[in-house]
Amino acid sequence: MRPAVGEPAPAIQLSDALGNAWRMEDQRGRNVVLIFHRHIH
């Protein structure tokens, strides 16, 4: 399901390039740009 424009982002947790946990809810009130890429082996 896609969130609508202007709606809060879903509660997700990702890892950054260094492997550190990163939670979307910790960024509330900030501008966030997420870049997803597919790593092909």
The answer to whether the CB of 3 falls within 8 A of the CB of 10 is: yes
CA atoms within 13 A on the CB side of 4: 2
Local confidence band at 20 (pLDDT 50, 70, 90 cut-offs): very high
CA distance 7 to 21: 23
pTM for the whole structure: 0.48
pLDDT single digits (tens) 21-34: 989 888 888 888 87
Per DSSP, the residues of 1-33 read -PPPTTSPPP--EEE-TTS-EEEGGGGTTS---
Pairwise CA distance, residues 9 & 24, whole Å: 7
